[in-house]
Structure 1
Amino acid sequence: MAIIHLDETENAFIEEQVKSGSYKDADEVVRAGLRLLRKREAKIAKLRALIQEGEDDFAAGRFMEFSSADDLTAHIIQRSAEKR
Structure 2
Amino acid sequence: MSEIQLSEEDRAFIEEEVRAGVYRDADEAVHTGLRLLKSKEGKIAELRRLIQEGIDDIEAGRVIEFESADDLTRYIMNMSEDKRDAAAQTEINPARASRPSRRL
Q: TM-score range by the shorter chain?
A: over 0.9
Deviation, structure 1 residue 24: 1.0
Q: How many angstroms apart in 1 are the aligned matches of 2:21 and 2:66?
A: 54
SS at match of 1:4: coil
2:66 maps to which residue? 66
Identity fraction in percent: 60
1:10 maps to amino acid: D
The Cα shift of 1:20 comes to: 0.8
AA of the residue aligned to 2:47: L
Match of 2:40 in 1: 40
Give the superposed CA RMSD: 0.9
Q: TM-score under structure 1 normalisation?
A: 0.96
Deviation for aligned residue 1:2:
4.1
TM-score by length of 2: 0.78
Match for residue 49 of structure 1?
Answer: 49
Structure of greater relative contact order (alpha carbons < 8 Å, 6+ residues apart): 1
Over 6 Å off, 4+ runs: none
Q: Give the corresponding residue for 2:14.
A: 14
CA distance in structure 2 between the aligned counterparts of 1:70 and 1:39, rounded to whole angstroms: 36
Q: Secondary structure of the residue that 2:50 maps to in structure 1?
A: helix
Q: CA deviation at 1:75?
A: 0.5
Q: How many residues align?
A: 84
| Alpha-carbon distance between aligned partners in 1 of 2:6 and 2:59, rounded to the nearest angstrom | 46
Unpaired runs of 5+ in structure 2?
85-104
Moved more, 16-25 or 56-65: 16-25
Give the structure with higher Rg (CA).
Answer: 2
String of CA shifts for 1:22-70, please: whole Å, max 9, x gaps. 1111111000000110111111011000000000000000010001111
- d(CA) in 2 for partners of 1:63, 1:51: 14
